């Protein structure tokens, strides 16, 4: 398929699925209640890979919790603590990046398997609970 036809087909599909506005949204702009859970997570990952701790936190709800699995330890609660947590991550691993390898979406739950580079880990599984356009809970397993 030629590039022009491919672009047109993607545009028609995006419009049919109501994705045309999502593709243009600014990842740092924060939650919108009508945004699909997988798109919320995608925007949070873009902010993560940009090392923008404030933008990462904006995609989490005001009372969101980050937890370590299987230990159950709460790593951060609320946007201020989430900002501080990710600022520490970016400061201690300035080359960290995650790349989505697999995704499972079950309604408001998004489970992502990432390969990770630039840190002491090689893989991460994050499970996100998305409510009203923001991440309410995130469970993280490092590998």
pLDDT in tens, 36-61: 999 999 999 999 999 999 999 999 99
| Residue 108 vs residues 40, 63, 131: alpha-carbon distances, Å | 10, 17, 7
Residues 47, 64: Cα–Cα separation, whole Å: 17
Which pLDDT tens digit goes with each residue over 13-42?
344 444 333 333 445 566 666 799 999 999
Q: Which CATH number goes with the domain that contains 17?
A: 3.10.450.50
* Predicted structure pTM score: 0.77
Lowest-confidence segment of 30-44, 94-108, 120-134 by average pLDDT: 30-44
**What H or E segment, with its residue span, contains residue 89?**
helix 79-92
**Mean pLDDT computed over every residue of the chain:** 85
Domain of 90 in residue numbering reads as 3-142
Cα 40 from chain centre: 6
Judged against a pLDDT cut of 60, whether residue 12 lies above it is answered with no
- Give how many domains the chain has, as a whole number: 1
pLDDT cut 90: percent of the chain above it: 76
């Amino acid at each position: 398929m030629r590039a022009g036809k491919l672009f047109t087909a993607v545009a028609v599909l995006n419009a049919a699925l109501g994705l045309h506005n999502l593709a243009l949204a600014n990842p740092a702009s924060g939650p919108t209640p009508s945004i699909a859970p997988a798109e919320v997570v995608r925007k949070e990952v873009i902010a993560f890979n940009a090392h923008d701790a404030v933008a990462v936190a904006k995609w989490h709800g005001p009372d969101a919790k980050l937890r370590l699995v299987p230990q159950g330890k709460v790593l951060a609660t609320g946007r201020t603590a989430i900002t501080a947590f990710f600022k520490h991550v970016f400061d201690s691993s300035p080359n960290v990046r995650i790349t989505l390898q697999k995704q499972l979406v079950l309604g408001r739950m998004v489970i992502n398997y990432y390969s990770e580079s630039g840190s002491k880990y090689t893989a991460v599984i994050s499970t996100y609970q998305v409510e009203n356009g923001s991440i309410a809970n995130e469970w993280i397993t490092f590998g």
